[in-house]
Amino acid sequence: MSSHASLDEQLVSAIRTALGDGLRSVVRFDREDWAVCYLRSDVDQSVGGRDALQAWFVENERLGFDSAAAYGEYAERDDVEPAFGEYQLTVRVFEDGLVGRVIVGDRGVLFTTDRMALRNVEDAGQAARNVLA
């Protein structure tokens, strides 16, 4: 099994444990490449396959590498208030679903869900961070 396949399985397992059947998709990405790790069958049919909407999401969420680095620098400063600590996760809330993005170093994962409690999405983000770390 390739290291990417193993990582993909770990990400899907960790995120799905937190989100259950509400999980729509999991996409692993870095600055150069991306791969769909999981796509729920009804989502696969509705967006016309694995690449259509996911490519757009990845290009948008890659912008997070710069903001994650900036927030990392901010978190390390002692002279800034309020102190928020280390960047964990970005959540985008839509009428019928959510997008979560986690970036650790040079790797990231985004996941999409049906509408659900933000606490579940936060748990999924922490689980993804643990896998990527």
pLDDT (tens digit per residue) in 23-43? 999 999 999 999 999 988 887
Backbone angles phi, psi at 18, to 5 degrees: -75, -30
pLDDT of res. 56: 74
Number of domains observed in the structure of the chain = 1
**pLDDT-derived band of residue 3, with 50, 70 and 90 as boundaries?**
confident
Task: Compute the radius of gyration of the chain from its Cα atoms.
Answer: 15
Q: Which domain holds residue 85?
A: 3-132
CATH of residue 118's domain is: 3.30.450.30
DSSP designation for 27: E
Over residues 66-73, mean pLDDT: 76
* Range from 30-44, 58-72, 98-112 that averages highest in pLDDT: 98-112
Q: For residues 100 and 110, what is the distance between their CA atoms, to the nearest angstrom?
A: 5
Give which of 122, 74, 65 is closest to 98, Cα–Cα.
122
- What the block records as the tokens of 69 is 């680095």
